[in-house]
Structure 1
Amino acid sequence: MSNHENVNGHRNPFIEERADPQILRHEDGRYYFTGTVPAYDRIILRGADTLDGLREAEERTIWTVHEAGPMGSHIWAPEIHFVDGAWYVYFAAGDAGSETADVWRIRMYVLENRGANPLEGEWTEKGQITTPIDSFSLDATTFAVNGKRYLCWAQHNPELADSNTSLFLAELENPWTITGTPVELTRPELDWETIGFAVNEGPYAIERDGKVFVTYSASATGAEYCVGLLSADAGADLLDAASWTKSPVPVFTTSEANGIYGPGHNAFTVDEDGADILVFHARSYEKIEGDPLDNPDRHCRIQPFGFEGGVPVFGEPLPEA
């Protein structure tokens, strides 16, 4: 066992300096990885025939930041999804290119690739995802339940003066256009969701045995960062906030004993045998020097998880050694 291999056989950090990680296993069994790069200036993608093969896979830049205007700064949290025979990447970006450009005007955007292999072919810009509220928004993810496809994302609700972002859900007309009125699923209101910043962000969905679960991340991005959980019956009206139940406690948090701090912005995948794998980022130390936004040490990590009583149980972040 190497000094970075945990007891479940996966080496961690899995991929260094890649925050907001996502690993997708395609229907043909191939794996794809993307995540935020520390320079916030491009979108990268890796592909491999095996999960562990992603570690050493060639990393390709599939899109680069614009020199000016929208999509010009803060390229954050890309996610790749295969929808209706095409590949889509959701990401967030701010403006750039002039003294008046607002790098904090973060909005959500979509790329499309209609080729069979997302590492090849042409990625085209489908534009901004328009929401009824024009405000800070990011971390778009998509999932389908009972034939309906949804978009879930984090967005500032102007009605909440002391809050940064809530989670919203809407049905999709197509992969880059929402339809109907979005519903606010959760807002940061519990003690563990409001440390440093009042944040609910980074949603990701998994469906199992008639239930839909959405994980999300809360609080500022240091050691206080953690994962919360929403759940609903798959047959319920998912666009009714009352269909969803929020866990009163975080479900994945810092492990001082294991030396892993601020786990969050997770995704889900499966290994070659179909076992569930949690994908997330975290640091291996508690205190951050300087601006956390400039810190590159939120590494991608992976570890198995299971279900108990029909609910996902993540345990605690496993140690590096």
Structure 2
Amino acid sequence: MAMKRRTMAIVYSILIAALAVASASPALAANATPTYSNPLKPERGADPWVYKHTDGYYYYMTTAGGVSIWKSKTLSGLTSGEKTEVWTLPSAGPNSREMWAPELHYLEGKWYIYYTATDRRPNGTGDPLKRRTFVLENDSPDPTKGTWIDRGQVFDPDNDYWAIDGTVLEHNGELYFAWSGKPYDYAGGEQRIYIATLSDPVTMSSNRVELSRPTYDWETGGTPINEAPQFLKRDGNIFLVFSASHCSSDEYKLGFLSAPEDADLLNPEAWTKHPTPLFQQSPENGAYGTGHNSFTTSPDGTENYMVYHANPESGQGCGQFRQTRLQKVEWNPDGTPNAGVPTADSVDLPLPSGEPVKWFLEAEAAAVSNGAEVSKTALHYTGTGYAVANGAGETIEWTVELDKHRNYILDFRYSNLASTTEQLELRVDGELVLGGLALPQTATRLWADYKLASREVRLKKGVHTISVTATSGTPIYIDSLTIYQIPPSELGDDH
């Protein structure tokens, strides 16, 4: 009997140990599928702007990120790319408080960021009557590098009144600037859409012209507002899409104007307002206050997409709960845009046409060992957190199943506050990868910047483990791992 009890105890101990090992193992990442889901940024994603450049990258900005630029290889991965804080508001002056709605444009061989800001009141808060549109300039080929210069206010000297949400249209050799403004400076109240020409990206060359004011019931929820103008061109028409009603209301939505591309765009009579909204809330799908969008195209240029913000619950208003979301735009038989209905969270949607096959793995879902830990005290991470390796030997490991024998790019999204380049050991299936993973400094302030450290590896079809291990006592913050499959056309025969 004693022997039986000892045998049972040993078996029980082995079982408990096996369960403990199993619970410490990383979850298996399923085969990659050609889908994405919303939200792209689950919070602090207001006023999203995306710009697709000729260098093959998408550049993303949002109000809640300060003056920061996200740089991504894919449209569906906007918020998992590198994040660089490129400029900070001055401590005093007309643009020293409350930066809103930054937009990045490449014009006449330089980069420009248009944004809204205001002056500081004696009590330190922003002055609501002094909101204006401003612009920064950078001549670097890469907007995340170089020096951003403050080029001041963009305005009509004869009508220098309250102005927000500036955007630019290049058309027939002309530059047009559109924004949301008021007839004169006053707190609250009606907002209208104005347009003017620019003689260069920083100088207005005509008086403003009013194109739209709130007239329909759907434009007056909470406060009568037309704001956040965005241009979209297709098949001989120019569309000016705007946000209507107040962002604090669930009724925040999109409407649009249209004009023939050969019309005089400064003539209000050339524009026609569509009588019904283009896009609005969907309580059934958990999307409220849907608005403040921007437009772009898929990587191969065959599809139109809209990036917008929405709240996941009713009554959340204009705060940090606004999420960045992505939605394909279709076209009606009459040539007008059709944005459809906001999709529900976590619904699988087809990847934008031309995006590479990829696996996206959160660090907080990986196996951490030897002292590494999961946290979520910082900002602008993806998913629900990130992993931290605080000392030598601490390890973060993912397990993934790959569907083809090919070369793959491993992109690790990280933050390193040290002044030196930190070196991590990189292992694939337990074997050291020669050269490891080098992590240059990102910023001196936690999570001001995120960078990507990349390695290319050859992997067979099947299940693999990928791990990084710290080699020093410098804390390293790992947010995610993205695995890109290199197309066979770049490698030769498939295996």
Q: TM-score, length-normalised on structure 1?
A: 0.91
Q: By percentage of residues, which structure has more strand? A: 1
Does the 8 Å contact 1:69/1:97 carry over to 2? no
- SS of 1:71's partner is coil
User: Which whole-Å CA distance do the structure 2 matches of 1:101 and 1:11 have between them?
Assistant: 37
2:192: which partner in 1? 166
Q: CA deviation at 1:110?
A: 0.1
Residue 204 (structure 1) aligned to one of 230, 236, 253: 230
User: Which whole-Å CA distance do the structure 2 matches of 1:10 and 1:171 have between them?
Assistant: 39
User: Which whole-Å CA distance do the structure 2 matches of 1:143 and 1:90 have between them?
Assistant: 12
Does the 8 Å contact 2:167/2:230 carry over to 1? yes
Count of aligned positions: 308
Residue 265 (structure 1) aligned to one of 289, 292, 315: 292
Q: CA deviation at 1:172?
A: 0.7
Residue 306 (structure 2) aligned to one of 278, 294, 317: 278
- SS of 1:135's partner is coil
1:121: which partner in 2? 146
Q: Does 1:50 align with 2:78?
A: no
Instruction: Output the amino acid matched with 2:307.
Output: V
User: Which whole-Å CA distance do the structure 1 matches of 2:188 and 2:102 have between them?
Assistant: 27
Q: Taking CA–CA contacts closer than 8 Å with sequence separation of 6 or more, which of the two structures ends up with the larger relative contact order?
A: 1
Instruction: Output the amino acid matched with 2:36.
Output: H
Does the 8 Å contact 1:163/1:188 carry over to 2? no
Does the 8 Å contact 1:8/1:304 carry over to 2? no
2:96: which partner in 1? 72
Q: Deviations over 1:210-230 (max 9, x none)?
A: 100010001111211000100
1:25: which partner in 2? 52
Instruction: Output the amino acid matched with 1:286.
Output: S
User: Which whole-Å CA distance do the structure 2 matches of 1:67 and 1:161 have between them?
Assistant: 24
2:178: which partner in 1? 152
Q: CA deviation at 1:65?
A: 1.8
User: Which whole-Å CA distance do the structure 1 matches of 2:76 and 2:261 have between them?
Assistant: 32
Instruction: Output the amino acid matched with 1:178.
Output: M
2:245: which partner in 1? 219
Q: 1:262 to 1:128 in 2, by over 3 A?
A: same
Does the 8 Å contact 2:97/2:126 carry over to 1? no
2:211: which partner in 1? 185
Q: Does 1:318 align with 2:346?
A: no
Q: 1:296 to 1:234 in 2, by over 3 A?
A: same
User: Which whole-Å CA distance do the structure 2 matches of 1:257 and 1:121 have between them?
Assistant: 46
Q: By percentage of residues, which structure has more helix? A: 2
Q: Which has the larger radius of gyration?
A: 2
Report 1:75-90 matches (<5 A). Answer: 75-90=99-114
Q: 1:54 to 1:210 in 2, by over 3 A?
A: same
Indicate the RMSD between aligned Cα atoms, in angstroms.
Answer: 2.0
User: Which whole-Å CA distance do the structure 2 matches of 1:103 and 1:79 have between them?
Assistant: 22
Q: Deviations over 1:2-58 (max 9, x none)?
A: xxxxx99332111231210011100222110001017xxx31101122223322112
2:8: which partner in 1? none
Q: TM-score, length-normalised on structure 2?
A: 0.60
1:135: which partner in 2? 161
For structure 2, list consecutive stretches of 5 or more residues without a partner in the other structure.
1-32, 347-495
Q: 1:102 to 1:280 in 2, by over 3 A?
A: closer
Q: 1:265 to 1:193 in 2, by over 3 A?
A: same
Instruction: Output the amino acid matched with 1:53.
Output: G
